[in-house]
Chain A
Amino acid sequence: MADSIHLLRALGLAIALGLTAISGAPSAAETVTLKVGYGPGGGFDTAARFVAEHLGAHLPGHPEVAVQNVDGAGSLKLARMLAGTEPKDGSVIGLINPSLVIATVTDPGLTGFDANSLNWIGSLSASPTVCLVGKASAIASVDEFLGGEFLLGASGKASSSYVMAALVKNSLHARFRLVTGFKGSAEINLAIERGEIEGWCGTSLTSYHATGAERTMRLIGRLDFSTSGETADLPALLDRIADGVDRDAAGLVIGYLAFQLPLVLPAGTPPDIVDTHRRAFDAMIADPAFVEAALRRDIRLSPKNGASVEAIVRGLTDASPAIVARAAELIR
């Protein structure tokens, strides 16, 4: 009996401690959680932690912004959570892979969420994507790149390295063959250095400079339709697409490159909360301290505000069925 009383006391103490701890936990107003759809390390996680250091200062009440990794299925797990179960009071922000937007168009059954239901706060980057070959390669021009029989490296078939190379190959009838299965860009670069493959597509210009690839790789062309910016001197590969439908389909495939590292609020978040977060984002990217910190960390900013991202997403998801079908064929 005495044992039971002691145990009950212990349980009571534990419950009291627990409730105290829970009641003492910061409320939603004091903490904002920035959930990133990838594991620790890597570009998405680094960007999330960088934003977490700065965003709170621009939100009302200056909340602490804590990063949580919600790793799974290339951030689709988090995207689905944001479209469904996450709180809609502004206490949770997500950072997901924008290529999911294209996937919702080309394969809606697989992704299972509506990109337009999410509330886009803004995006940090829009680095151009390029194709490159090893410096030891004999390929030096776009014509040689498109006409030569050689091997290009790629990761999995859902990766940007495969999607971009397939887009070039199918839309421009290039003769290179794709080798899939490499684990990331470092392994592809190593395979190029040891002469197993000639090059690859789908890396950003930022990565090209940041990883020192410029020492061993040669740029062949870019994958965008822009006529200005830091890649204006590079040949625009997709400009060679003559067919109108193919051009539109290619535009759809590369559409997500315009809003890299996007921040989103869950579906169903009230408009006033969305506006507050968008204003905070705009203030953050205009803050000289943020810009200077980004330079120090070698993060190349090319931000877009929430309204612009929302418009791009709507444009992509409103593509005609014919364009969507052709886009799916081009990246097969």
Chain B
Amino acid sequence: MDAWTTAIAGVTEPFTLLMLVCGVVVGLVIGVIPGLGGIFGMALLVPLTYTMDSYAAFALLLGMGSVITTSDTIPAVLIGVPGSIGAIATVEDGFPLARQNQAARAFGAAYSASLIGGLFGALVLALSIPVMRPLMLLLKSPDFLAISLFGLFFVAMLAGPQPLKGVIAALGGVLMSFVGIDDQSAVARFTFGTLYLWDGLPIGIVFLGLFGLPALMDLSRRTSISGATASMRPSSMLVGLKDTLREWRLVLQCSSLGSMLGAIPGIGLPVIEWVAYGMAKRDRKGGPEFGEGNIRGVIGPESANNAKEGGSLIPTIAFGLPGSATMSILLGAFMVQGLVPGPAMMTTNLPITYSLILFVALANILGASLCLGLTNPLARIALLPSTIIIPVALVFVTLGAFQTHASFADIVVLVGFGILGHFMAQGNWPRAAFSLGFVLGPSIERYFFLSYQIVGTDWIYRPSIQALILLGGAFAIRKTLAWRRARRAASAPGAHRISDMVAIALLSAACIFVIVDTWSMPDGARRFPTFTAILLLVVVAALAWQMFLRDRPRAPWASDATARLARRNETMKRMLVPVHCVLFASLVMLAGLVVAVPIFVLTVIWSRNRLAEQPTGRAAAVIAALSTTALSYGIFGWLISVPWPRPLLWF
């Protein structure tokens, strides 16, 4: 009890509370801006904590870290672009809700779910203090392998109407995750001679491209996000709150999941998000289809991602083992404060540990309250013309990606995955499955090799692995039966699309390339990519058989020339978004941030040639350009020291 008293006294110091508020505000701002995340926030704030006492330092850092996944919902719901990787699943149903003029309801549900999730995570952390070390010591390498493989099972939940496409997307994600230097053999895999790819594809940019750009491409053919012109009803937010309370079982299930998986190193936020979404998707409870605005699709992921913070603190505190990249920076702050993670955090430094729990809880309450207060004004953004939203959002998406390495290669990855994400969405290739594969691929490879080196083939006899095999088998049989039933009930197969044929050909070629390219690599570097490529080739062949032989349609190709032409025109219009992205990045490199932003925003608005017809359009365009310039310069030019290339025009 003494430790709690000391912790409460430390937490309630006025300066500590002020730092908590500052941290929460910074975290909310970072969450709103696509491309920025916890790592950015920690890098920004850790140097400021060097001269603070431990309580104030952790108030600032955890205040920031705890609420990013609360405010990242704002762009996810409003424009379909996730504010951080913690909101990629929220987009699925949050954005359709905004399109239906229900943004306020989505926010109400998301924030309340985040709040409960965050508090639940803090509670789990509090309860686990006495047992966290013995519990973590019980888990061996094969258990971590089992947990990582378990995450892949959720591909089945997210696969949609064509399960094979889900499996292919997941395996494609796994293959992409192998890019970079292989730790087993120190060999470069699929880096094509570039230094940039040595550390692998940057996960933040990959997800920003995969989910963010396609949303903006989709938006480019609408006049505004929400077609409605009526003002937001304040009562909508309350509806969202009530939704969360009604779905309390889902909230608790997903919060437990978030805090438990958060404690496992290597299981990132995207996995937690999609697994929670998969749990929510099991039952639509009379609401719309998932992907069309089912509120459970917002509540599930939002309660899980906020609960993760408490969970990922467990290995950090107990062993100095960071549960995430953000936690690894927080660990640096521990060292600076003279705190050594381990048993001392449960004994002599127990008040500090308790204070961390209080900070997570208080930050969640404060963050959710601030966001709830801002819900109605923010929801009005959905009524803004897309001609303003697209250039402004593109500025932040591009700069957010660009600040990762300050390299043009960041833009290439962003645009490449943007186009990939667009075609995946168009062709019903589930991006969620790709995400799971991409995040879990390295963990599965790493834990497999660790298990094999430590216990040989005995890893297969580990109870967790056997339980997983039984669970997976039962799950696969159940899902296969459900799919067969659904297929029988469905009408005759529709016409095939040329894009599917192209995708099958490209995937086959990619698999053959991987097999050939890895042929001369050492065993440790070759095994997993080759195995994945062969498996992928088999599943692609199965899909081709299914599409072109088993389900042979009367008209093998979508042959309506008019429809094809319309689709092509539509695609060309959408492709303007990645083109704009490249042009903006080029302009930044040519003329610098402060010049490039207003020119870009004004030119894009002007080129759309609609806004100028309205009397207020010019003022709105100039205000949008200037405020975007000020904000982007404030964040990327002044607040953080990004090593931008020198503008070519001025030097």
A: residues with CB less than 8 A from B are: 3, 6-7, 10-11, 13-15, 17-19, 21-22, 33, 35, 39-42, 45-46, 49, 66-73, 76-77, 80, 151, 155-158, 177, 179-183, 186-187, 189-191, 193-194, 196-197, 210-212, 215, 297-298
Contacts and interface: CB of A to CB of B under 8 A. Distances in A.
Interface string B127-156: 000000000111111000000000000000
Nearest to B642: A68
Given A67-B641, A76-B195, 5 more contacts: A13-B626, A72-B196, A80-B195, A179-B454, A298-B338
Contacts of A21: 594, 633, 637
Contact of A22 (B341, B612, B618, B650): B650
Most buried by B among A22, A35, A158: A22
Contact of A18 (B43, B335, B595): B595
Given A11-B598, A11-B599, A212 B342 contact: yes
B336 interface: yes
Q: Which 9 residue pairs of A and B lie closest in terms of their CB atoms, listed nearest first?
A: A14-B598, A41-B329, A40-B43, A156-B183, A18-B595, A18-B594, A157-B186, A73-B198, A212-B340
Contacts of A189: 319-320
B405 A17 contact: no
Nearest to B137: A194
28 contacts: A10-B625, A11-B598, A14-B595, A14-B599, A17-B598, A18-B595, A18-B629, A21-B637, A22-B592, A39-B39, A41-B42, A66-B641, A72-B199, A77-B198, A80-B195, A155-B183, A183-B266, A183-B446, A186-B321, A186-B341, A194-B140, A197-B454, A211-B320, A212-B320, A212-B340, A215-B343, A298-B335, A298-B338
B181 interface: yes
Contacts of B647: 22
Contacts of B545: none
Contact of A180 (B140, B183, B195, B405): B183
Nearest to B596: A18
B449 interface: yes
Contacts of A179: 450, 453-454
Interface in B619-646: 621-622, 625-626, 629, 633, 637, 641-643
B621 A10 contact: yes
A194 B318 CA distance: 13
Contact of B625 (A14, A68, A190): A14
Contacts of B650: 22
Given A21-B633, A49-B47, A41 B321 contact: no
Given A10-B622, A40-B42, A193-B137, A297 B453 contact: no
B529 interface: no
B405 A72 contact: yes
Given A72-B405, A186-B319, A15 B595 contact: yes
A297 B42 contact: no
Nearest to B198: A73
Given A157-B186, A180-B453, A212-B344, A41 B331 contact: yes
B618 A6 contact: yes
Interface of B: 39, 42-43, 46-47, 50, 136-141, 181-186, 195-196, 198-199, 265-266, 319-322, 328-332, 335-336, 338, 340-344, 405-406, 446, 449-450, 453-454, 524, 591-592, 594-595, 597-599, 602, 606, 612, 618, 621-622, 625-626, 629, 633, 637, 641-643, 647, 650
A194 B595 CA distance: 57
A159 to B, nearest CB: 8
A41 B642 contact: no
Contact of A41 (B43, B184, B340, B406): B43
A7 B405 contact: no
A192 B252 CA distance: 35
Contacts of A35: 643
A66 B638 CA distance: 11
Contacts of B329: 40-42
A297 B266 CA distance: 29
B594 A17 contact: yes
B473 to A, nearest CB: 28
Given A68-B643, A76-B195, A11 B602 contact: yes
A46 B449 CA distance: 32
Contacts, number: 180
Contacts of B186: 156-158
Nearest to B326: A41
Contacts of B138: 194
Contacts of B335: 46, 210, 298
Contact of A181 (B183, B319, B322): B183
B592 A181 contact: no
Most buried by A among B183, B196, B454, B592: B183
A196 B46 CA distance: 34
B402 to A, nearest CB: 14
A62 B340 CA distance: 35
B643 A297 contact: no
Contacts of B524: 180
A14 B626 contact: yes
A211 to B, nearest CB: 6
A7 B618 CA distance: 7
Nearest to A110: B188
A41 B629 CA distance: 29
Contacts of B331: 41, 186
A151 to B, nearest CB: 6
A196 B336 contact: no
Contact of A69 (B43, B183, B319, B449): B43
Given A156-B186, A298-B335, A190 B50 contact: no
Given A15-B599, A40-B46, A210-B340, A7 B449 contact: no
B265 A187 contact: yes
Nearest to A20: B594
Contacts of A210: 335, 340
Contacts of A194: 137-140
A190 B641 CA distance: 35
Contacts of B196: 72, 77
Contact of B336 (A19, A46, A177): A46
B338 A180 contact: no
A19 B320 CA distance: 47
A72 B198 contact: yes
A180 to B, nearest CB: 6
A73 B321 contact: no
A30 to B, nearest CB: 14
Nearest to A46: B332
Given A41-B42, A298-B335, A7 B136 contact: no
A45 B332 contact: yes
B650 to A, nearest CB: 6
Contacts of A151: 453-454
Nearest to B454: A196
A215 B602 contact: no
A7 B602 contact: yes
Nearest to B185: A157
Contacts of A181: 183-184, 446, 449-450, 453
A197 B46 CA distance: 34
B195 A72 contact: yes
A180 B523 CA distance: 14
Nearest to B44: A40
Most B Cβ at <10 Å: residue of A7, A156, A197, A210:
A7
Contacts of B622: 6, 10
Contacts of B322: 186
Nearest to A191: B141
B643 to A, nearest CB: 4
Given A18-B598, A155-B183, A42 B643 contact: no
Contact of A14 (B139, B185, B629): B629
A76 to B, nearest CB: 7
Contact of B195 (A19, A41, A73, A155): A73
Contacts of B597: 14
A190 B141 CA distance: 11
A265 B454 CA distance: 44
